[in-house]
Amino acid sequence: MRIIARFILLFVSLHATAENGHQLWLRAKNVRPVQLVCTRSSETLNLAKEELRSGWLGEANASVTLTVKPDKAVKGDGFRLSKNEIQANTETGILYGVYELLRCQQTGQSVDEKVSNPSYERRILNHWDNPDGTIERGYAGLSIFWRKGDEAFAVTEADKRLWTEYARANASVGINGAVLNNVNASLDVLSAKTLGRVKAIAAILRPYGIKTYLSVKFSSPSMIGGLKSSDPLDPKVVQWWTTKTKEIYRLIPDFGGFLVKANSEGQPGPQDYGRTRADGANMLADALNPFGGIVMWRAFVYSASEEDRAKQATTEFLPLDGQFRDNVIIQVKNGPIDFQPREPFSPLFGAMKKSNVMPELQITQEYLGQSVHLVFLSTMWEEFLQSDTYQEGAGSTVARCTDGSIFRSKHTAIAGVANIGLDANWCGHPFAQANWYAFGRLAWNNMLSSKQVADEWIRLTFGNGGSSAYSEEWVSNFLNPVRQMMLESHEVTVNYMMPLGLHHIFAANEHYGPGPWWAPQGTRKDWTPPYYHQADTLGIGFDRTLTGSNAVSQYHEPLSTQYADVKSCPEIYLLWFHHLPWEYRMKSGKSLWDELCYHYDAGLQDVRRFEKVWSSMQTYVDKERFEQVQSKLREQSANAQIWKDACLLYFQQFSRRPIPNDIERPVYELDKLLIMKMQTN
Ligand code: GCW
């Protein structure tokens, strides 16, 4: 008996110390006492105080003053910070100031006097979670919000604990909104039971400054409301949404609003009734307006028409500019197609001058190795945010076009499709946590460098809880090489998946492995890779110049000319905009075919190098995370081999050229690759 008891104890204590990654980047240790001066008290301020007490690494017994008072230099939930004082217009601003102060301490930076204002008013996670608990494009377990079964709507203590941890993690990086369900919205979302649960979630998120939003199905009035139609101009439909919206606000007074995917990939929308997208968005916006709610109306639209898919969103939305209510924000994916490993920015940014426009980024790695590949997305987002649209002269970056610096938008926002699930470590891959972190940090400050973001994240996540742990040795042997690996990881992945502007050459619908050949009979052309790579014996690439789809014309000069001219088109976008002969001379002097081969091979070699980098980190990382990352990198490099072999051997059938001799030979046969299904875990 005693032995069993001892075993249980051992198991419990082992379990308690096993590192499962659940704490994310919030790991302060060796904290010191601190004296707090704050005359007010509220749920949010109490959280702020509690965070300071449990995370203070400054001078022992120092005194810190928290003051809520109006200050013109401070905007929204921004704050004024100094070593011993945090001042803000709002209580949430105080909380953000506390997290910033603690982050400085925990990462070993000095706390400089400064005002910090958010780049975007709304910094929102989009959860593609379904009511049955599954997650579309989720790779880290089931939903933290929804589940199926008898207990689906019971709000348990475990639920509350998890939602609190989730809220805290978000607030610590400035995220202040969560869309709780999939844009492919279920009709159940507006049921009384579901709204009851939303109310419970909202109650937990509220003190952390986070608003809840819902994705709604446009056809709800006819599908669940008993109406004959869902025509946005039908007064009964308007009335239905008005009543429903009131019901929601009765339950959740600070409800954020609706996210809508309409007339896109089979979803219903205003066009089903001969109305415009603006008619649809405005009808919902009017219902929300009395309560201060907003509509995020997605521009992810394309149909099986003959027009180049990359052009369709702009063709449809640009003529509607100026027709949307000021509480509508057009939510545009970063690129014109669909979260590909690399895309140029969507030409809608900066072009819709009379509408609120917000970027949608994808944190979940649908097209970037899911929860297996180590890919730090911050560099990709930085490249996007800093892209110059030239819409109002040089320097009209996407960041400035969307954050209110250039256009006087009533609302500014940015969304990221979440990578969060019930997995103990939330995101599947330990390094995928860095993408959640980076989204929040860039949403708060869209000028941050990825280098800084990576640096912070590594220190907080692997640094043993505080600045005292950052010896020079640790910095040079752990932090620097790991940060370098993170900063290179996106380019490396692009290299072994889709270099030089190639895009959408995945096998089947799971978007994981390579399938440049994938085109089952009867499948819509624009859902198959050959539509995108256009490889033939003459060359490869999608001609989007005047001789092709002329998508280049959607960009503002000088970009339009720059992209159209093969000489000035950046090589990272070459095959996005041009169909070129295999023997085309690249800037390196190599032929296009050879260059393609070198890119694929470099990607593979670099992942192998990452494996070695990580293997040398054993002494700096707990066993669990060390081994988990090691095993995932092993799989990533096996996958990179498959990507390289599949793409080169397949395209070689058209190029009819040898793979340069100094490149490692493919190890697979093409006919095996054609039938191979790459596993995602
Ligand atoms: O990227 C594609 C995904 C779909 C997704 C869609 C969208 C939610 O493959 O799974 O649906 O985009 O963004 O609406």
CA–CA gap between residue 114 and residue 326 (Å, rounded): 32
Q: Which of 285, 311, 283 is nearest to 296 (CA)?
A: 285
Which residue of 366, 367, 370 sits with most ligand 1 atoms within 8 Å of its CB, as the best mutation to test the pocket? 366
pLDDT, tens digit, for every residue of 71-99?
A: 999 999 999 999 899 999 999 999 999 99
Measured in whole angstroms, the distance separating CA 559 from the mean position of its chain's CA atoms is: 26
Would you say residue 6 has pLDDT above 70? no
Q: 127 CA distance to ligand 1 centroid (A)? A: 12
Distance CA(382)–CA(626), nearest Å, equals 28
Side chain identity, residue 10: L
pLDDT tens digits, residue range 169-209?
Answer: 999 999 999 999 999 999 999 999 999 999 999 999 999 99
Provide the 3-class DSSP secondary structure of residue 214.
strand
Contact 443, 414 (CB under 8 A): yes
Please state, for a pLDDT cut of 70, what percent of the chain lies above it: 97
- Which amino acid, residue 386? Q
For residue range 405-423, what is the model confidence (pLDDT) as tens digits? 999 899 999 999 999 999 9
Higher pLDDT, 408 or 26: 26
- pLDDT by residue (tens digit) across 255-294? 999 999 999 999 999 999 999 999 999 999 999 999 999 9
Nearest atom in ligand 1 to the alpha carbon of residue 264 is 14
Crossing angle for the helix pair 433-444 and 157-172, nearest 10 degrees?
A: 50
Say how many Å lie between the CA of residue 49 and the centre of ligand 1.
Answer: 40
In one letter, which amino acid is 473?
Answer: E
pLDDT score, position 44: 98
295 in Cβ contact with 124 (< 8 Å) = no
Q: Which residues are catalytic?
A: 265, 338, 366
pLDDT digits (tens, 9 = 90+) for 52-71: 999 999 999 999 999 999 99
Helix and strand numbers (H, E) in the chain are: 21, 15
pLDDT at residue 5 above 60? no
In terms of Cβ atoms closer than 10 Å to its own Cβ (0-12, 13-18, 19+), residue 350 is buried
- 63 CA from centroid of ligand 1 (Å): 50
Residues with CB under 6 A from ligand 1: 128, 136-137, 183-184, 261, 265, 300, 338-339, 366
Give the largest Cα separation in the chain, rounded. 82
Give residue 679's pLDDT.
61
Residue nearest ligand 1's atom 2 by CA: 338
Residue with the two structure tokens 């070993």:
108
Q: Atom of ligand 1 at shortest distance to CA of 183? A: 8
Atom index in ligand 1 nearest the CA of residue 136 equals 10
**From residue 626, how far is each of 26, 86, 620 by CA, in Å?**
19, 37, 9
User: Given the DSSP bridges, would you call strands 356-362 and 413-417 parallel, antiparallel or unpaired?
Assistant: parallel
Nearest ligand 1 atom to alpha carbon 333 = 13
pLDDT at 12 over 50: no
Query: Do 245 and 202 touch, CB atoms closer than 8 A?
Result: no
pLDDT of residue 676: 85
The answer, yes or no, to whether residue 681 has pLDDT greater than 90, is no
Site to probe by mutation for ligand 1, drawn from 183, 186, 265, 360 as the one with most ligand atoms within 8 Å of Cβ, is 265
Residue 534 gets which letter from DSSP?
A: -
Burial class (CB in 10 A: 0-12, 13-18, 19+), 4: exposed
pLDDT of residue 323: 98
Distance 331 CA to ligand 1 centre (A): 14
How far away, in angstroms, is 501 Cα from ligand 1 center?
21
Report yes or no: 137 and 417 within 8 Å, Cβ to Cβ.
yes
Mean pLDDT of 648-667: 98
pLDDT single digits (tens) 340-359? 999 999 999 999 999 999 99
Q: 569 pLDDT band (50/70/90 cuts)? A: very high
Q: List pLDDT tens digits, range 526-554.
A: 999 999 999 999 999 999 999 999 999 99
pLDDT of residue 470: 87
Nearest to 92 by CA among 180, 168, 35: 168
Local structure of 457: helix, strand or coil: helix
